[in-house]
């Protein structure tokens, strides 16, 4: 009996050794597979960084006036400099300008835009332990990156300062504030940006806005160049310079246009030149569907009171900043008031008044702006909610920078 028990114990020990050996081999195999997978993901991260750098370099070359050919060469050079040289160690680097469709077949809005660059990098990564347990000895990896110009539309732009008082809030939706000098916010007043946007204070101006969100950034440089309107050729004096039938026509107004209080007017689409100023005088004014451009000569009066629903005339093939609704040529700096408590102002386009110190007052400004307002200075004593226009022509672009889009 004792001999028989010893024999069984010996057989059990042998079985445990065999099973342990098998389990150890499997464990080592999975550990090796984990090492291979970790190495593949490490290689993919490096490859993605190389693709990002290549796409950004190509887009920067395009943004600086380089040819498509030079941008493609830049992409290849940067990819090689980051360890992924085309044709070496199964690496394939493919830069394309314009970027074309996405790898999944979807078509982005910039697919045919030659200011964007796409870079694809692929490589068969060698595996070391996976083949031992029956897997392939390589892992095919491909990455993709797209870079191009990202424009930052600015809803609020001042050549000089921006002041906001009391508990008022400037709510900016998907756009930025560009302040030429000082930013002053008293009590609980602030600039709040929803979505994409920032507040930049140029010329090293002072910043006093503890509640602003996001935190304003000081910049030593000057404001970007402001948009300018040129008077088109072929304009002639209008036949009815007083809009007596309550329909105003585009053309030249040599006398100041003063509308009748409380009366409804329609501005037909086109370009208006007011050589002696304009006063909406608390009228009800609407622009025709294709929009208008109102050009006021230098040092002439501007009154935008009443209920106004005006949209900019957008030129064919327009560029950002060209959809200007109201513009005054360079003038002596003067003051201009928008009484929000009694006026209902809805503007779609760029209000380009760089020679006016604008003060918006009232418990509620009732001023909505889908576009940009440019002033010499802006003093906000009421709330306002500007937002970026879906048509980029109706926005002043405060910054252009090369960014990754994929």
Q: What is the pLDDT of residue 133?
A: 62
Contact in structure between 83 and 50 (CB atoms under 8 Å): yes
Contact 404, 144 (CB under 8 A): no
If one counts every other C-beta atom within 10 angstroms of the C-beta of residue 100, the result is: 15
* pLDDT at residue 5, rounded to an integer: 44
Residues of the chain with pLDDT under 50: 5-6, 8
DSSP state of 237: B
Strand partners, 324: 350
Please give the pLDDT value at position 45: 87
pLDDT at 126: 76
Going by DSSP bridges, is the β-strand pair 278-279/138-158 parallel, antiparallel, or unpaired? unpaired
DSSP alpha helices (H): ranges in 165-288? Answer: none
In the numeric block, which tokens belong to residue 353?
Answer: 């008044």
Question: Is 142:78 a contact under the CB 8 Å cutoff?
Answer: no
Alpha-carbon gap, residue 58 to 168, rounded angstroms: 44
Output the pLDDT for position 355. Answer: 94
Q: Coil, strand or helix: which one is 335?
A: strand
Q: Dihedral through CA 162, CA 332, CA 241, CA 280, nearest 10?
A: 30
What's the pTM? 0.70
Token pair recorded at residue 83: 């360890």
What does the pLDDT read at residue 96? 92
Q: How confident is the model at residue 8, as a pLDDT?
A: 47
Which pairs count as long-range contacts for 40-45, CB under 8 Å and 24+ apart, including other chains? 40/125, 40/127, 40/139, 40/141, 43/123, 43/125, 43/141, 44/125, 44/141, 44/143
Instruction: Answer yes or no: are the C-beta atoms of 183 and 170 closer than 8 Å.
Output: no
């Amino acid at each position: 009996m004792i001999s028989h028990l010893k024999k069984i114990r010996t057989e059990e020990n042998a079985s445990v050794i065999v099973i342990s050996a098998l389990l150890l081999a499997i464990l080592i195999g999975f550990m090796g597979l984990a090492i291979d997978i970790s190495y593949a993901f490490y290689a993919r991260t490096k490859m993605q960084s190389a693709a990002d750098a290549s796409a950004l370099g190509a887009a920067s070359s395009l943004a600086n006036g380089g040819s498509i050919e030079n941008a493609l060469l830049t992409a290849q050079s940067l990819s090689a400099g980051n360890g992924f040289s085309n044709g070496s160690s199964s690496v394939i680097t493919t830069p394309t300008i314009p970027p074309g469709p996405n790898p999944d077949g979807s078509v982005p809005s910039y697919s045919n835009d030659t200011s964007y660059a796409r870079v694809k990098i692929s490589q068969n990564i060698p595996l070391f332990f996976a083949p031992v347990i029956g897997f392939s000895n390589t892992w095919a990896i491909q990455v993709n990156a797209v870079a191009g110009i990202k424009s930052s539309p600015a809803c609020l732009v001042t050549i000089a300062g921006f002041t906001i008082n009391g508990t008022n809030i400037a709510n900016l939706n998907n756009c930025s504030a560009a302040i030429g000098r000082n930013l002053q916010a008293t009590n609980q007043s602030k600039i709040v940006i929803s979505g994409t946007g920032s507040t930049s204070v140029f010329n090293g101006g002072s910043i006093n806005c503890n509640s602003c969100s996001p935190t304003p950034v000081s910049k030593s440089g000057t404001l970007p160049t402001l948009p300018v309107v040129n008077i088109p050729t072929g304009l002639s004096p209008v036949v009815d310079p007083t809009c007596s039938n309550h329909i105003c026509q585009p053309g030249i107004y040599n006398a100041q246009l003063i509308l009748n209080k409380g009366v409804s007017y329609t501005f037909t689409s086109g370009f208006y030149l007011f050589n002696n100023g304009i006063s909406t005088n608390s009228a009800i004014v609407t622009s025709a569907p294709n929009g208008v451009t109102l050009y006021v000569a230098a040092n002439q009066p501007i009154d935008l009171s009443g209920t106004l629903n005006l949209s900019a005339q957008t030129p064919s093939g327009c560029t950002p900043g060209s959809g200007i609704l109201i513009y005054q040529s360079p003038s002596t700096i003067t003051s201009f008031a928008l009484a929000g408590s009694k006026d209902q102002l809805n503007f779609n386009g760029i209000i380009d008044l760089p020679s006016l110190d604008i003060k918006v007052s009232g418990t509620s400004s009732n001023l909505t702006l889908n576009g940009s307002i440019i002033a010499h200075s802006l003093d906000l004593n009421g709330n306002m909610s500007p937002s970026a226009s879906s048509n980029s022509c109706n926005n002043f672009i405060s910054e252009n920078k090369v960014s990754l889009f994929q």
